[in-house]
């Protein structure tokens, strides 16, 4: 096992960056100087965000692979750009590396970075690799561009609420990883992969951004459906009503909850890390939206509507009962 010390800092950076195949056609200067340099495209807006993953808090090395971790670290940040309707263009990656880590582990991590960079045409523009004896962490800053920007603010009473994909898979996957022995079933594989290797909805954000649909607010679901819907409600000074029987769930999710007697609703509402897009639009845009997503073969579901009553999210149950959902049940980092 090759140790990092043998390569030295600059040797390590050289070896790892040679893994990265995607170079932006317009980049002026990539990795290797004090900064990376890019031209700016006039008329576009710059969207920027940063996210960190810490071992033991956001992931365990015992339940993931370095490749999947590399993909997830980038996907989580790219998801923030997608949440604004932007296109991610470049990332800066910082690694805090404990002493006993092998070069081969970092190589595989970079292979994961490379997969996402290639898939979304994102350039890894630079970074910092530092010694961090007591904990392994990854920080990803991402710079994207946007023409239209979708924020959390702007949802209006009467707007319809939509979500891409299905909900709860990631948190059920995490539950399986933490609780049970590995299981060879396809359902187990599907759900744990949704947690370990989520897909940033960059393509779906692109569909929305290129469409003429009047998206009034958007966010990505990282903290959990309810918590993130509250973020929209607070920023937009509105409330929301969602319907239990409209919340999209995967067959794998439904089967596994049933088989293991796990109540599905808490996972769907508060599970977090779905990285699906949650957005609102006036009712007259729904037909166009559904047509575009059908054409792209991407699942999108109307789950409720924006209500007048500010800062209150109601859940209408199948049996007709109505619950006020609390906004503090999502993932809290502390």
> Of residues 19-58, which lie at the interface with its own copies (CB under 8 A)?
28-29, 32-54, 56-58
Member of 15, 65, 94, 290 binding its own copies (CB under 8 A): 94
- Identity of the residue, 120 or 188, whose beta carbon is nearer to its own copies in the bound complex: 120
Q: Scan residues 181-240 and list those touching its own copies (CB under 8 A).
A: 219-220, 235
- Alpha carbon 107 to its chain's center: 23
Segment near its own copies (CB under 8 A); pick from 6-14, 65-73, 182-190, 193-201: 6-14
Q: Scan residues 144-163 and list those touching its own copies (CB under 8 A).
A: 144-146, 149, 151-153
Paired tokens of 161: 């609420």
Q: Give the containing element (helix H, strand E) for 73.
A: helix 66-82
Q: Scan residues 238-297 and list those touching its own copies (CB under 8 A).
A: none
Member of 2, 9, 186, 324 binding its own copies (CB under 8 A): 9
Segment near its own copies (CB under 8 A); pick from 89-97, 106-114, 291-299, 313-321: 89-97
* Helical residues (DSSP H) of 121-243, grouped into ranges: 169-179, 186-196, 202-210, 225-236
- Identity of the residue, 42 or 178, whose beta carbon is nearer to its own copies in the bound complex: 42
Work out how close the CB of 275 gets to its own copies at its nearest, in angstroms, rounded to a whole number. Answer: 11
φ/ψ (deg, to 5) at 8: 80, 165
- Identity of the residue, 195 or 249, whose beta carbon is nearer to its own copies in the bound complex: 195
Q: Scan residues 114-143 and list those touching its own copies (CB under 8 A).
A: 125-135, 137, 139, 141, 143
Give the closest residue to 301 by CA, choosing from 244, 235, 222, 217. Answer: 244
Paired tokens of 268: 């769907």
Q: Could you give the CA distance from residue 279 to residue 227 in angstroms, rounded to a whole number?
A: 14
Work out how close the CB of 224 gets to its own copies at its nearest, in angstroms, rounded to a whole number. Answer: 13
Q: How many residues bind its own copies (CB under 8 A)?
A: 74
Cβ atoms of 301 and 289 within 8 Å: the answer is: no
Q: How far is CA 45 from CA 23, 29, 76, 227, in A?
A: 21, 21, 21, 27
Q: Give the containing element (helix H, strand E) for 8.
A: helix 4-17
Member of 66, 70, 96, 112 binding its own copies (CB under 8 A): 96
Work out how close the CB of 251 gets to its own copies at its nearest, in angstroms, rounded to a whole number. Answer: 30
* Helical residues (DSSP H) of 197-285, grouped into ranges: 202-210, 225-236, 251-259, 264-270
- Identity of the residue, 18 or 131, whose beta carbon is nearer to its own copies in the bound complex: 131
Segment near its own copies (CB under 8 A); pick from 60-68, 164-172, 196-204, 325-333: 325-333
- Identity of the residue, 123 or 252, whose beta carbon is nearer to its own copies in the bound complex: 123
- Identity of the residue, 194 or 201, whose beta carbon is nearer to its own copies in the bound complex: 201
Give the closest residue to 19 by CA, choosing from 67, 52, 64. Answer: 67
Q: Could you give the CA distance from residue 70 to residue 318 in angstroms, rounded to a whole number?
A: 40
- Three-state SS at 260: coil
Q: How far is CA 333 from CA 53, 74, 222, 313, in A?
A: 11, 19, 12, 22
- Identity of the residue, 48 or 283, whose beta carbon is nearer to its own copies in the bound complex: 48
Work out how close the CB of 62 gets to its own copies at its nearest, in angstroms, rounded to a whole number. Answer: 16
Q: Could you give the CA distance from residue 63 to residue 319 in angstroms, rounded to a whole number?
A: 39
Binding of its own copies at residue 333 (CB under 8 A)? yes
- Identity of the residue, 81 or 289, whose beta carbon is nearer to its own copies in the bound complex: 81
Segment near its own copies (CB under 8 A); pick from 76-84, 168-176, 188-196, 311-319: 76-84
């Amino acid at each position: 096992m090759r140790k990092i010390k043998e390569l030295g800092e600059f040797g390590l950076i050289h070896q790892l960056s040679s893994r990265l195949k995607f170079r932006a056609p317009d980049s002026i200067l990539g990795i290797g100087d004090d900064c990376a340099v890019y031209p700016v495209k006039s008329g576009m807006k710059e969207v920027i965000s940063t996210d960190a993953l810490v071992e033991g808090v956001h992931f365990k090395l015992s339940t993931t692979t370095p490749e999947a971790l590399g993909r997830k670290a980038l996907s989580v940040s790219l998801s923030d750009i997608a949440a604004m309707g932007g296109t991610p263009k470049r990332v800066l990656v910082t690694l805090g590396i404990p002493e006993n880590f092998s070069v081969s582990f970092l190589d595989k991590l970079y292979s994961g970075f490379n997969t996402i960079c290639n898939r979304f045409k994102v350039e890894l523009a630079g970074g910092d690799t530092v010694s961090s004896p007591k904990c392994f962490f990854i920080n990803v800053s991402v710079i994207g561009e946007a023409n239209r920007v979708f924020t959390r603010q702007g949802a209006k009473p009467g707007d319809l609420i939509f979500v891409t994909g299905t909900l709860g898979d990631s948190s059920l996957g995490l539950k399986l990883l933490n609780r049970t022995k590995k299981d060879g079933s396809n359902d187990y594989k599907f759900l744990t992969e949704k947690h370990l290797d989520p897909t940033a909805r960059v393509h779906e954000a692109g569909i929305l951004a290129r469409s003429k649909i009047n998206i009034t607010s958007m966010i990505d679901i990282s903290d959990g459906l309810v918590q993130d819907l509250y973020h929209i409600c607070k920023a937009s000074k509105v409330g929301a009503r969602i319907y239990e029987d409209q919340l999209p769930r995967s067959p794998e999710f439904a089967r596994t909850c049933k088989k293991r007697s796990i109540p599905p609703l808490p996972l769907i509402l508060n599970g977090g890390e779905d990285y699906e897009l949650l957005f609102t639009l006036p009712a007259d845009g729904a037909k166009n939206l559904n047509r575009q997503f059908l054409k792209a073969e991407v699942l999108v579901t109307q789950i409720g509507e924006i209500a007048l009553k500010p800062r209150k999210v109601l859940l209408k149950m199948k049996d007709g009962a109505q619950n006020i959902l609390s906004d503090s049940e999502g993932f809290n980092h502390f």
